[in-house]
Amino acid sequence: MDADRNVNNAVYLADFHQSRLEHVARRGVWCPRGYQDDNLFALAEHTCRYLAPSSYGDVLSIWTAAHAVGRTASSWSIEFGVRAAVH
């Protein structure tokens, strides 16, 4: 969190990581050491467009969608979206 009580940008990436693990778990991907294994996927690149800040205490909803799955399934693109959760 910064001086204006906005969430640090790196926190979004940690949230995306957790969302990605939950996404593959829901689709039945078997992970021998569990879904918390940081070596499950190698992240080659990420980009993020910050459209609005979130503040400490905000409840956010993150959605995840897989795109452009490679022919061998060893490469794929994943998209995330973040919105304020509806109370």
* DSSP string over 12-60: HHHHHHHHHHHHHHHTT---TT-TT-TTSS----------S--BTT--E
Q: Do 61 and 85 contact (CB within 8 A), yes or no?
A: yes
Closest CA to 62 of 11, 2, 4: 11
Q: Say what the pTM is.
A: 0.65
- DSSP code of 24? H
Q: What is the pLDDT of residues 3-48, one digit of tens each?
A: 777 777 788 888 888 888 887 778 776 665 665 555 556 677 788 8
